[in-house]
């Protein structure tokens, strides 16, 4: 049986990687042209060129570019060449992004139409991975579906009565799993090497509250295939080893880390990653791995991943057992168990429930910081639990199914750390430090507000949960009243200032902000 499992695991790993290699990324399609465009920064945003659509056969474009470049006597503008040979990415329709309604709820409901995309058609040379069903994009520069964003968007779609859209988006994610072996960061070729925090199970659970437990049965193949992606290589590991996204610890426990299979700079941030790696003085491929893993985490970037707690050049994401990731995988194991149970296969359901319980015990052992009374990441290279208090530490309170009294006690302790280190006038900060990274103080983000509120409320800290919700909603609505916009991120420390940091300007639209705000208003009512 063990031999059969090893063979199946090896086959899945091979099939998954083959599926990825069949997808050509922009650097592979355009070669020297791609590198010249990204390194010369003819566009302020590195995502612009990788989203461009060629006007003719990419091979002919590359051939012509190389021919022109080899003749220095020819007067040549790289920017003009790109604009003549590519259709620029469409700008978001501005009329839909300015305030037309005083009521923010009506604004969000009307905004879904602007963020809606119809089923895609394959275009030769385009980085877009076509999807068969309609979907909602975040907005601004984010013109494609995003994995973890979509769960929080769905919260608002549910409150808006958009049940069909929720199901269509989940079907799209199931399609991506079936086609590529996992859900990429987004439906772009340049995201193929990585995923994002695995919220697919939570999406299925959300749909099950609408349509019943048969949903678990319908999406069970996709749930299991995603699980195999995250657990690829686990059966081959020896104690102390890591492979792709799995790590085997000293006591034999297997937990997970964030990872990316590619060894080059991120396509959409090519120059930024190249310069960061060069500045670090470290092994270049190692740096790209850490940067890409940080992107898979969704927390791109934060001092949470930095060895020195200050500088991105010290990033070491792949060294960490990430507490949020492992809590999400516990939930994935629970969801698969539920699927087998709903299908009448109690024995297999029990096996997955045991997997979830083993993981829960391991998270408690390695990620509960008894000095802080908070869940933190674990550095498996140094065998040290970290001391950074972040909303990631609230994920276990959202998903664990252990004894209620135990969770309530842990949550009560954790709530003191939140009040002391994260709570601000506009909600909770992403970390307690300001490093000019977008996932650090003073910024707050809708998904992390929701996970903090959810975890606190679920485990008995309802007063603090409501307080955070009220502060966040008031900030969202105040900014909307001033600007007519719902933003990707907010300054929760000084609520009169904009959020900052990161590799691009603030974006409005915005999918997960809309979703979380709608869900919080439904639960708590509007703040006075």
Residues recognised as catalytic? 300, 488
Helix (H, G, I), strand (E, B) or coil at 287: helix
* Phi, psi for residue 227 in degrees, rounded to 5: -60, -40
Look up residue 306 and give its DSSP letter: B
Say if residues 165 and 112 touch (Cβ distance below 8 Å): yes
Give the CA dihedral 136, 141, 146, 150, nearest 10 degrees.
-40
| Burial of 194 per CB tally in 10 Å (0-12, 13-18, 19+) | buried
Query: 């009565």: which residue's tokens?
Result: 161
Instruction: Give the DSSP H or E segment for 117.
Output: strand 116-117
Whole-angstrom CA distances from 71 to 31, 63, 85, 122 are: 18, 13, 19, 35
Say if residues 253 and 378 touch (Cβ distance below 8 Å): no
Which pair of structure tokens corresponds to residue 449?
A: 């507000």
Which pair of structure tokens corresponds to residue 421?
A: 């280190």
Say how far apart CA 90 and CA 391 lie, in whole Å: 35
What's the sign of the alpha-carbon dihedral 507, 511, 516, 517? positive
Q: Which residues contact 469 (CB under 8 A, 6 or more apart)?
A: 449, 453, 520, 523, 524
Residues in the chain: 528
Whole-angstrom CA distances from 296 to 196, 198, 293, 412, 423 are: 5, 10, 5, 30, 26
Say how far apart CA 135 and CA 123 lie, in whole Å: 18
Query: 């609408």: which residue's tokens?
Result: 210
| Beta pairing partners, 490 | 444
Say how far apart CA 220 and CA 341 lie, in whole Å: 11
| Beta pairing partners, 87 | 53
């Amino acid at each position: 049986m063990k031999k059969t499992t090893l063979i199946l695991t090896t086959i899945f790993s091979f099939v998954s990687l083959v599926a990825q290699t069949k997808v050509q990324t922009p650097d592979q399609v355009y070669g020297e042209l791609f590198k010249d465009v990204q390194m010369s920064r003819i566009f302020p945003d590195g995502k612009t060129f990788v989203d461009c659509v060629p006007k003719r056969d990419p091979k002919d474009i590359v051939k012509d570019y190389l021919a022109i470049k080899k003749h220095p006597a020819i007067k040549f503008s790289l920017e003009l060449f790109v604009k003549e040979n590519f259709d620029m990415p469409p700008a978001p329709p501005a009329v839909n992004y300015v305030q037309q309604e005083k009521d923010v709820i009506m604004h969000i409901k009307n905004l879904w139409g602007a963020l809606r995309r119809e089923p895609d058609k394959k275009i030769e040379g385009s980085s877009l991975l076509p999807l068969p069903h309609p979907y909602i994009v975040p907005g601004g520069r984010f013109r494609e579906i995003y994995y973890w964003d979509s769960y929080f968007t769905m919260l608002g779609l549910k409150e808006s009565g958009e049940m069909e859209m929720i199901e269509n988006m989940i079907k799209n994610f199931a399609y991506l799993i079936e086609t590529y072996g996992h859900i990429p960061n987004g439906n772009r070729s340049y995201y193929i090497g990585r995923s994002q925090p695995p919220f697919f199970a939570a999406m299925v659970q959300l749909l099950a509250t609408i349509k019943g437990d048969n949903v678990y049965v319908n999406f069970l193949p996709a749930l299991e295939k995603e699980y195999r992606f995250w657990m690829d290589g686990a059966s081959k590991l020896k104690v102390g080893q890591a492979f792709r996204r799995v790590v085997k610890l000293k006591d034999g426990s297997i937990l997970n880390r964030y990872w990316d299979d590619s060894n080059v700079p991120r396509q959409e941030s090519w120059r930024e990653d190249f310069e960061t790696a060069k500045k670090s003085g470290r092994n270049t491929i190692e740096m790209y791995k850490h940067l890409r893993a940080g992107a898979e985490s969704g927390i791109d970037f934060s001092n949470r991943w930095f060895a020195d707690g200050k500088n991105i050049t010290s990033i070491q994401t792949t060294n960490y057992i990430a507490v949020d990731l492992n809590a999400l995988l516990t939930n994935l194991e629970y969801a698969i168990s539920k699927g087998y149970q709903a299908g009448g296969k109690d024995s297999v359901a029990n096996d997955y429930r045991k997997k979830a319980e083993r993981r829960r015990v391991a998270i408690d052992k390695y990620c509960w910081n008894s000095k802080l009374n908070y869940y933190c990441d674990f550095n498996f290279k140094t065998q040290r639990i970290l001391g950074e208090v972040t909303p990631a530490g609230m994920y276990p309170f959202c998903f664990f199914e252990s004894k209620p009294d135990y969770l309530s006690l842990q949550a009560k302790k954790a709530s003191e750390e939140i009040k002391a280190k994260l709570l601000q006038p506009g909600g909770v900060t992403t970390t307690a430090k300001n490093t000019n990274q977008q996932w650090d103080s003073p910024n707050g983000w809708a998904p992390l507000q929701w996970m903090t509120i959810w975890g606190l409320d679920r485990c008995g800290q309802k007063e603090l949960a409501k307080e955070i919700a009220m502060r966040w909603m008031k900030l969202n609505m105040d900014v909307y009243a001033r600007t007519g916009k719902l933003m990707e991120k907010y300054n929760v420390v000084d609520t009169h200032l904009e959020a900052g940091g990161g590799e691009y300007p603030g974006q409005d639209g915005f999918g997960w902000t809309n979703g979380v705000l709608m869900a919080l208003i439904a639960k708590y009512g509007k703040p006075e």
